[in-house]
Amino acid sequence: MNLLPTQIIRLKRDGKVLPAPVLRQWIQEYGKGHIPDYQMSAFLMAVCLRGFSSEELHASVEAMIESGVTLHWPKHPRFLVDKHSTGGIGDKTSLILGPIVAAAGLSVPMMSGRGLGHTGGTLDKLESIPGFQTRLELPSFQEQVEKLNIAFIGQTEEICPADRKLYSLRDVTGTVESMNLISGSIMSKKIAEGIQGLVLDVKFGTGAFFKTLEESAELARQLMAIGHQFGKKVVALVTDMNQPLGRFAGNALEVHECIDILTGQVHRNSHQEDSYADTRELSIQLAAQMMNLSGRWGNLAAAEQEARHVLNSGQAYNKFVEICRAQGGDLTRLPRPRHSRIVPVTVDGFITGFDLEAIGYLNVQLGAGRVQLTDVIDPTAGIEFHHKLGHAVRRGEPLMTLYAADEKRLHQVAEKVGACVSYGQQAPPKFSLIRKVMS
């Protein structure tokens, strides 16, 4: 079983299936720094093109988990559940569904990420609340989950270090876009949280990593299969990311939207629609799925009813305030942007498309995300969307409002962002936001 690195690479290159112990050792040795990057990157490229079998995928996830710490919750009577989203524009559901599920009595040890590429990240959103601390030590994290049912932290050094090392290498070697590597990376971290249930929000469309429903459904299948291999209860929702979720994209702006939803505010757009409706509904549906995995409410409908009750009664908001207090965040000082600029509709007609990936990168340019890891985020930067797909619009009315602390960036982005929206003389067909529920 002792294979040389070049033998391992060549087997994968030739499309062979590696024995599980070989693959596990290979990844563990890399995590320990015993395999040079140039060998691992050749291997990763072979995986991109040849794929993993489901046994290999399982072994690779096992190795990444074993490279670090797995959380244990020995005296935990409550069902432990988390959610993972593959990321999009305006995707802020964690801040709503986390408090709902925790207030309903389950435990939510939420380990989240930062903005990546054109998409935002939960940690960056929370850190727009002055003082909010996401770097908890694992014991404090577990203590808060015991006490409040929920805590939000970032991925720590202790959890899946081999995955983090592999991810950094993939990022610079053109080997990010492999469904096997993506699903292994996502699931290893979630499984290491020691949860029992996981709800996946797998997005597709112009703002998602995978553009088509089919690809995203395949990713969902892989993620679920890994979860099942590790004995987890998993449900996946495949959701539409061809238009922004909710009204705002940008860190503090999204927190404002979440607070409005948690406190029952309704914000209507020029079509007199509730412009928070999609954020609110998706959050409730995801929360209901999380709750239903516990079995406590009997069925999904009952779980959904309870989720709505917890939200509407203000219990979820109270939980959110508790979390902020426990993690040092001062909601009264949540910043508002200094500058804004309206981008107008340029054509009479219907809105037929958003190039959300381009819009996401322009939002990064406004200051809402990072180009390099060392970049500092402008928490107030972001975009307000006044319209949804299919809206009838007239030239000159507001399409978006851009926000930022830096006026120069505002002007630069204002010149480009209008071109990311397309118009037509007919309304496009309507699709539901949740396209598929897989369990």
> Which residue, 6 or 263, has its beta carbon nearer to a copy of itself?
6
Among 375, 30, 439, 413, CA closest to 197: 439
Structure tokens, 16: 């062979």
In the complex, the smallest distance separating the C-beta of residue 62 from a copy of itself, rounded to whole angstroms, is 23
DSSP E strand boundaries for 282-348: 339-344
| 18, 23, 27, 45: residue in contact with a copy of itself (rule CB under 8 A) | 45
Specify the DSSP class assigned to residue 17.
P
What's the min distance (Å) between Cβ of 415 and a copy of itself? Answer: 22
Strand order in the sheet with 81-85: 81-85, 197-204, 233-240, 434-438
| Under rule CB under 8 A, residue 46 binds a copy of itself | yes
Task: Find the helix or strand (DSSP H, E) in which 383 lies.
Answer: strand 382-385
Residue 17 as a binder of a copy of itself (CB under 8 A): the answer is no
What DSSP designation does 116 have?
A: B
44 binds a copy of itself (CB under 8 A): yes
Q: Is 388 annotated as catalytic?
A: no
Query: Considering 163, 201, 240, 378, which one is annotated as catalytic?
Result: 163
Nearer to a copy of itself, 46 or 95 (CB): 46
Which one of 37-45, 225-233, 241-249, 384-392 is the stretch in contact with a copy of itself (CB under 8 A)? 37-45
- CB 12 to a copy of itself: min, Å: 8
Spatial CA neighbour of 282 closest among 171, 426, 434, 158: 434
- Per CB under 8 A, contacts with a copy of itself among 173-192 are 173-175, 177
Strand residue runs (E) in 81-232: 81-85, 108-112, 150-154, 197-204
Taking each helix axis from N to C end, the angle separating 37-50 and 161-172, rounded to the nearest 10 degrees, works out to 80
Tell me, yes or no, if 408 is annotated catalytic. Answer: no
- Footprint of a copy of itself on 270-329 (CB under 8 A): none
Active site residue 387: no
Active site residue 84: yes
Furthest-apart CA atoms within the chain: distance in Å = 69
Determine contact, residues 353/389, Cβ cutoff 8 Å: yes
Considering only residues 3, 69, 169, 438, which one is a binding residue for a copy of itself as defined by CB under 8 A?
A: 169
CA distances for 335 relative to 183, 261, 271, 275, 317, angstroms: 36, 18, 28, 21, 19
185 noted as active-site residue: yes
| 371 touching a copy of itself, by CB under 8 A | no
Region near a copy of itself per CB under 8 A, out of 46-54, 82-90, 278-286, 372-380: 46-54
> Judged by CB, which is closer to a copy of itself: 173, or 412?
173
Site membership for a copy of itself, residue 364 (CB under 8 A)? no
Provide the b/e sequence for 311-340 (b: ≥16 CB within 10 Å).
beeebbbebbbbbbebbebeeeebbebebe
Which of 5-13, 150-158, 377-385, 430-438 is the region at the interface with a copy of itself (rule: CB under 8 A)? Answer: 5-13
Answer for which of 48, 123, 291, 362 binds a copy of itself (CB under 8 A) is: 48
Q: Looking at beta carbons only, is 5 or 130 nearer to a copy of itself?
A: 5
Nearer residue to a copy of itself within complex by CB, 37 or 66: 37
Total residues interacting with a copy of itself, rule: CB under 8 A = 28
Which of 356, 354, 375, 369 is CA-nearest to residue 120?
369
Please tell me whether residue 212 binds a copy of itself under the rule CB under 8 A. Answer: no
Minimum Å distance from CB 407 to a copy of itself?
29
Exactly one of 58, 164, 165, 189 is catalytic; name it: 189
3-state secondary structure of 106: coil
Per CB under 8 A, the segment of 8-16, 141-149, 183-191, 288-296 that binds a copy of itself is: 8-16
Exactly one of 60, 178, 185, 216 is catalytic; which is it? 185
How many helices (H) and strands (E) are present in the chain, helices listed first?
16, 13
Residue 401 one-letter amino acid: T
The CA distance from 274 to 291, in Å, is 26
Does residue number 412 form part of the binding site for a copy of itself (CB under 8 A)? no
Give least dist CB 163 to a copy of itself, A: 17
Distances in Å between the alpha carbon of 59 and those of 64, 65, 80, 161? Answer: 9, 10, 24, 16
What is the set of active-site residues?
Answer: 84, 163, 170, 185, 189
Residues that bind a copy of itself (CB under 8 A): 5-10, 13, 36-46, 48-50, 169, 171-175, 177
